[in-house]
Amino acid sequence: MFKKIINYVLISTFVFCLLIGLFLAAVYNGVFGPLHTIEQLKDFKNQTASLVLSSDGEILGKYFDQNRTNIDFSDLPSHIVNALVATEDARYFEHEGVDSRSLLRVLFKSILLNKKNAGGGSTINQQLAKNMYGRERHGVLTMLVNKAKEGFLAYRLEKIYTKEEILALYLNTVPFGENIYGIEAASRRFFNRPIDSLRIEQGAVLIGLLKANNYYNPRLYPENALKRRNVVLSQMEKYGYLTPQVKDSLQQRPLQLDYANLAAEGPANYFLIQVKKDIDRILTQYNATHKDHLNLLTDGLVITTTLDYSLQTNANQAFSSHLATMQKKLNAQYRQKEQRKLLNQRVEIAYRQGKFKNNARKNRLLFQWDGFKKDSVSVKDSLRNSIQLLQAGLLALDPNTGAIKAYVGGIDYQTQPYDQIYAQRQMASTFKPILYAAALAGDMTPCTYLENEAKDLKDYANWQPQNYDKTSGGKYTMAAALAKSMNIPTVNLFLQTPFSRIQELWNKLGFSQPLENKPASALGTGTASIYETAIAYSSFANGGYKVKPQSIISIKTATGKIIYQNKQLKQQQQRVLSKEVANQLSMMLQKAIQEGTGTSMVNRYGITIPLAGKTGTSQDYSDAWFAAYTPKIVFVTRVGASDPSIRFTNGANGSGSKLALPLVAKTLQGFQHRYQQPFELSVSDIDCEDYREDTGLNKFLNGIFKGTKSSYDKEQRKAERKERRKVRREQRSSKK
């Protein structure tokens, strides 16, 4: 009987081993799908996120299908390697790809005894094979087939890579949740630092994530992550990588994250959208020319942009500090009875236009300057919060190259994705320098005197322009009228300047919207974007050349090959203004900063470098503008709610000098020395008195000739006569 049992066991063992051998042979020979060859393993390429860098080398963001940044073994601190080996594969440096002890344990406990808690038998090599190629479905044999394939691949990996290279490849492929792959990307996500600067306990948190990257996510489940971290530290002590004292000390430390989700909270997310458009165009041309297939999302390109990281950071901080203060003031205004009634009316209009099915409450993310608020609110409450928000944008350009140095497209990309840089709004007084430049291109000079006498324009429903301070009378030089942003002299200048000249300059500067031939246009009723305005002011700053904004310096492959170098940053641009006119205008706009509406730049914010600029406040304070420049940089910013009817009710809060100017001033603080360069002409070169009183004779003549038509009226009448003659000719032709 005993002999029969022995024979039965031997035969069963033989059959079992034979079946295993046949099964492994079938897997090896591709019965369950082809096994990746050594050549394919050598050619394996991770999908790698493309990095976007500032001009000074700081990371602005990434483009990816899978967020991954590959690193070399030399970049890994020893404690990361120790934690990984101690936790995932203690005999890693002893086996040749497959650990037979662990494999037997899994075979008998997990498979034969069906114990789910028996532990895993996969080595780091086997896990790497799984990360590289994933797993396939084979019915009831799925686990056996996949384990066998991973075992064969694990041995093959040992033949072509060193132990160190395998570790680096593994840590570059492993998922850490939140669509991030590789330990470098994980380090930057959870601790906002590169892998080589991680502390031991921080590295243990990341290695702990490998067991279950959602359950042990330190942001979502900090208690789970803390417990798992301490398990990893215990494993490191067990295998001699830490002393008991160090382990105990590290386990006492709290879990401290510095979470940095660049996809949602990057320093320049609006800018990255524009950069991607430029990259797509460049890659399309490159791939077509070189018969290549470079992919922005998977090939680990390195894009160096023109953006100045420190200036961008300052601009973001300026938005946070200044707009948070102004938002509180606007909110307080709309808590008043009459203002609250107006706000509710706008909410009702938006609700009807949105065609919402109901006003149900649900959890919504609301933007606030002191932090996001997630609350159960109705649709109307959400609309009320959004409508009342002050929107803003800021663009800084190098006027000589067009390089974009700072780009803040809005207050928060996650909740307010519309890019304010391209929003078309009334220019207000930021238009005036364009009019003055057109006049200077004629026969006028900064010392030409303009009438400041209030007049009814009979041809325009007796419209009477008013100065901001309600004063009138006398005459002001062009320089003084522009510096003080005076409306009456500016309208008179518009009437004296041929509209064709103004319109020609408007078009040359690159504005996309039509400019109306009406006196009100002199005060900035025409619309433009921050983007267009920055281009125009760049022409004033650089001596009369039109620039094209540039966002990219270079693009390299993951291996360092340069595939694009921006040559336009050094090319001569198109001339749109004479150097003389540009210099005279800059001289006049310096006066606006030193003596006019921009004096708080110096008096309050301490910006002492030579600076030219112009404030703008549109009708009823719906938008506030400020444009400022030196020969080295141009800033343009605009602030205003998305609904123009939601606005401040007074200039103390809603004017360009109060609402927009501080954004530029705060951005420049600490960096103004970078842009220190004198203009060719300064305010001291203006050799005339700002103001002249009207003499009795002048007043008498003004009274007699009050109804005299201006050059604007003459030109308009000439055009009307020409049109009437054209109509009569067409009528005669039709009769024939």
Distance CA 159, CA 36 (A): 14
Identify the weakest region by mean pLDDT among 100-109, 356-365, 609-618: 100-109
Distance CA 172, CA 75 (A): 12
What pLDDT sits at residue 714?
A: 44
What pLDDT sits at residue 496?
A: 94
What pLDDT sits at residue 365?
A: 72
* Element housing 295 (H / E): none
Planar angle of CA 522, 526, 531, nearest 5 degrees:
120
What pLDDT sits at residue 716?
A: 46
Phi-psi region of 24 (alpha: psi -120 to 50; beta: other; left: phi over 0): alpha
Planar angle of CA 437, 439, 442, nearest 5 degrees:
115
pLDDT digits (tens, 9 = 90+) for 110-130: 555 555 444 556 888 777 777
pLDDT digits (tens, 9 = 90+) for 408-457: 999 998 888 899 999 999 999 999 999 999 999 998 999 999 999 988 88
Q: Which amino acid does the sequence have at 408?
A: V
Query: Given CA atoms 569, 572, 574, 578 in this order, what sign does their dihedral have?
Result: positive
The confidence band for 35, taking pLDDT boundaries of 50, 70 and 90, is low
Average pLDDT over residues 16-37: 60
Q: How many CB atoms lie under 10 A from the CB of residue 391?
A: 21
Non-local (6+) Cβ contacts of 22 within 8 A are: none
Which of 361, 366, 413 has its CA nearest to residue 391?
A: 413
- What is the maximum alpha-carbon separation in the chain? 142
What pLDDT sits at residue 136?
A: 65
Residues present in the chain in total: 736
**Dihedral through CA 148, CA 150, CA 153, CA 154, nearest 10?**
-110
What pLDDT sits at residue 41?
A: 60
Percent residues over pLDDT 70 in the chain? 80
Q: How many CB atoms lie under 10 A from the CB of residue 322?
A: 21
Identify the weakest region by mean pLDDT among 190-194, 437-441, 445-449, 722-726: 722-726
Pairing, β 624-629 against β 612-617: antiparallel
- pTM, to two decimals: 0.77
Name the token pair of 723. Answer: 């049109």
713 pLDDT more than 50: no
460 pLDDT more than 80: no
- The 3-class secondary structure across 540-592, one letter per residue, is HHCCCEECCCECEEEEECCCCCEEEECCHHHCCCEECCCHHHHHHHHHHHHHH
645 pLDDT more than 80: yes
Identify the weakest region by mean pLDDT among 267-271, 300-304, 364-368, 429-433: 364-368
Query: Domain extents for the chain?
Result: 1-31, 40-46+69-264, 424-548+575-691, 706-735
The confidence band for 102, taking pLDDT boundaries of 50, 70 and 90, is low
Q: Looking at residue 305, what DSSP letter applies?
A: E
Average pLDDT over residues 495-517: 96
Non-local (6+) Cβ contacts of 197 within 8 A are: none
Q: Are 689 and 476 in contact (CB under 8 A)?
A: no
What pLDDT sits at residue 242?
A: 93
Planar angle of CA 354, 355, 361, nearest 5 degrees:
85
Q: Are 389 and 346 in contact (CB under 8 A)?
A: no
**Which has more pLDDT, 8 or 434?**
434
Which of 373, 397, 330, 386 has its CA nearest to residue 634?
A: 397
Q: Are 318 and 363 in contact (CB under 8 A)?
A: no
Average pLDDT over residues 265-275: 91
CATH number for the segment(s) 40-46+69-264:
1.10.3810.10
Bridge partners of residue 375, in order along the sequence? 364
The radius of gyration of the chain from alpha carbons, rounded to an integer in Å, stands at: 35
Pairing, β 362-366 against β 373-377: antiparallel
What pLDDT sits at residue 436?
A: 98
Distance CA 298, CA 291 (A): 18
What pLDDT sits at residue 711?
A: 40
Distance CA 539, CA 509 (A): 8
Identify the weakest region by mean pLDDT among 187-196, 474-483, 614-623: 187-196
- How much is the mean pLDDT over the chain? 85
First to last CA, the chain: 129
Distance CA 465, CA 456 (A): 8
Identify the weakest region by mean pLDDT among 12-26, 41-55, 402-416: 12-26
**Which has more pLDDT, 354 or 597?**
597
Q: Which amino acid does the sequence have at 682?
A: S
**Which has more pLDDT, 84 or 155?**
84
Q: Are 121 and 106 in contact (CB under 8 A)?
A: yes
How many CA atoms lie within 13 Å of 260's alpha carbon, on the beta-carbon side?
18
Name the token pair of 250. Answer: 């590290």
Percent residues over pLDDT 90 in the chain? 56
What pLDDT sits at residue 1?
A: 65
pLDDT digits (tens, 9 = 90+) for 312-363: 999 999 999 999 999 999 999 999 988 999 999 999 998 888 878 788 888 7
Residue with tokens 């007043």: 699
What pLDDT sits at residue 395?
A: 98
What pLDDT sits at residue 88?
A: 87
Q: Are 251 and 243 in contact (CB under 8 A)?
A: no
Topology given in CATH for the domain delimited by 424-548+575-691: Beta-lactamase (3.40.710)
Q: Where are the alpha helices (DSSP H) in 466-558?
A: 478-483, 487-496, 499-508, 530-541
Pairing, β 302-305 against β 50-53: parallel
Q: 487-496 and 711-735 helices cross at what angle (nearest 10)?
A: 40
170 pLDDT more than 70: yes
What pLDDT sits at residue 168?
A: 87
Which of 383, 427, 414 has its CA nearest to residue 642?
A: 383
